[in-house]
């Protein structure tokens, strides 16, 4: 509760316009949402090691994993799928939408809500693979 009063005092004593104040709080809210996602979906509150360096490595690894997934979403997925949380993305899109054929290649399942998106994603990754090989 003291933190809330401190924020109100801070906001009242800033010489910022309403727009700048809104942007300030919006950025803060985005950071808080990131920490909440790390805690709830990456189990950041569970630090299994007793050593500080080991726990620091654990936290950095989880932040890196979350960042890579966010970059993947921004670069490879349509805007409607860019805000999905990690568990939702993997369960709804990949586990239910992809299957492995007899040749060992990933294929988009038919009659899935995200079939078009998955086909597009598979084509993009195939093009990237060809560029790397060439």
Q: Convert the pLDDT of each residue in 81-128 to its tens digit.
A: 888 888 888 888 888 888 888 888 888 888 778 888 888 888 888 888
Between CA 14 and CA 39 the distance in angstroms is: 31
Q: Which of 75, 76, 56, 54 is nearest to 64 (CA)?
A: 56
Q: How far apart are CA 97 and CA 130, in angstroms?
A: 24
The pair of three-digit structure tokens given for residue 96, joined into one six-digit string: 């239910």
What residues does each domain of the chain span?
A: 80-134
Inter-residue contact 118 to 93 (CB < 8 Å): yes
pLDDT tens-digit readout, 6-45: 555 555 556 667 777 777 777 777 777 777 887 777 777 7
Handedness of CA 111, 112, 113, 118 (dihedral sign): negative
What is the enclosing helix (H) or strand (E) of 100?
strand 98-100
Output the pLDDT for position 14: 61
């Amino acid at each position: 509760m003291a933190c809330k009063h401190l924020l109100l005092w801070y906001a009242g004593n800033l010489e910022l316009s309403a727009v700048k104040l809104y942007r300030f709080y919006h950025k803060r809210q985005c950071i808080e949402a990131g920490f909440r996602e790390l805690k709830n979906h990456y189990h950041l509150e569970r630090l299994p090691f007793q050593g500080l360096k080991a726990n620091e490595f654990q936290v950095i690894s989880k932040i890196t994993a979350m960042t890579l997934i966010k970059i993947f979403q921004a670069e490879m997925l349509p805007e409607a799928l860019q805000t999905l949380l990690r568990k939702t993305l993997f369960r709804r899109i990949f586990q239910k939408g992809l299957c492995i054929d007899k040749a060992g290649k990933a294929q988009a399942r038919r009659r899935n809500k995200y079939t078009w998106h998955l086909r597009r994603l598979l084509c993009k990754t195939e093009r990237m693979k060809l560029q790397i090989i060439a």
